[in-house]
């Protein structure tokens, strides 16, 4: 199916976020070993697929994994 597979970089971002909490693009890029631009692009794509969500209020500018994203991350880890 088109649009259901994840790239290696997308899997790395989900893996980083799967530990929980709200992370900034800087934290995601560092932990996933991506450039800031690449991390931002991937987070945007994952948001569009409902796998990542932005934080609100104090978490503004940070991102978290959604339950759908966590399920995808777990499937890959199994």
Q: From the centroid of its chain, how far is CA 40?
A: 9
CATH fold group of domain 8-77: Arc Repressor Mutant, subunit A (1.10.10)
Task: Indicate the pLDDT class of residue 26, thresholds 50, 70 and 90.
Answer: very high
* Domain positions in the chain: 8-77
CB 46 within 8 A of CB 54: no
Alpha helix stretches (DSSP H) within the chain: 8-17, 25-32, 36-48, 67-77
**Closest C-alpha to 52, from 41, 5, 35:** 41
- Report the mean per-residue pLDDT for the chain: 91
Percent of the chain past pLDDT 70, that is, above it, reads 92
Q: Encode pLDDT of 29-61 as tens digits.
A: 999 999 999 999 999 999 999 999 999 887 788
Q: Could you tell me the end-to-end alpha-carbon distance of the chain, in angstroms, rounded to an integer?
A: 21
């Amino acid at each position: 199916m088109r649009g259901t597979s994840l790239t290696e970089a997308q899997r790395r971002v989900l893996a980083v976020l799967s530990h929980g909490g709200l992370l900034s693009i800087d934290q995601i890029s560092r932990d996933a070993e991506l450039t800031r631009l690449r991390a931002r692009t991937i987070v945007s794509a994952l948001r569009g697929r409902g796998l990542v969500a932005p934080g609100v209020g104090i978490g503004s500018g940070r991102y978290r994994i959604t339950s759908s994203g966590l399920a995808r991350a777990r499937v890959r880890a199994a």
